[in-house]
Amino acid sequence: GNSVTQMEGPVTLSEEAFLTINCTYTATGYPSLFWYVQYPGEGLQLLLKATKADDKGSNKGFEATYRKETTSFHLEKGSVQVSDSAVYFCALSPMNSGGYQKVTFGTGTKLQVIP
């Protein structure tokens, strides 16, 4: 079956530091890949997505590139802010012609940014 593996947290960084959260996946075919963010006490928000190999998703200074050869979708940001403190979930959704496509999530990585 499909699975997503992401680095364990928590990750603690100083403000303006560089962020990388690793994510690798196992899936058949060509899944779509996502990063969701969950701020304290809130629900899931889509941060960025990529639907095919070599696509780069980006939003709010975050980026992730769909690497089919390494089955990876690492999240990066050049300079984190305190407001980026949240839990980040890597996720995938299979691409098929059947219709419904449940999302498979990783375990989440908690990011804490300190001033």
Partner 1 sequence: EPEVTQTPSHQVTQMGQEVILRCVPISNHLYFYWYRQILGQKVEFLVSFYNNEISEKSEIFDDQFSVERPDGSNFTLKIRSTKLEDSAMYFCASWHYRDSGRAFRFNEQFFGPGTRLTVL
Is residue 109 a contact point for partner 1 (CB under 8 A)?
no
Environment class of 110 (CB within 10 Å of its CB; exposed 0-12, middle 13-18, buried 19+): middle
* Of the residues 25, 77, 86, 93, which one makes contact with partner 1 according to CB under 8 A: 93
Compute the distance between CA of residue 38 and CA of residue 19 in angstroms, rounded to an integer: 17
36 vs 62 by CB, closer to partner 1: 36
Compute the distance between CA of residue 53 and CA of residue 3 in angstroms, rounded to an integer: 18
- Taking the complex as a whole, the smallest distance from the CB of residue 86 to partner 1 amounts, in Å, to 14
Q: Which of residues 25-84 bind partner 1 (CB under 8 A)?
A: 32, 34, 36, 42-46, 49
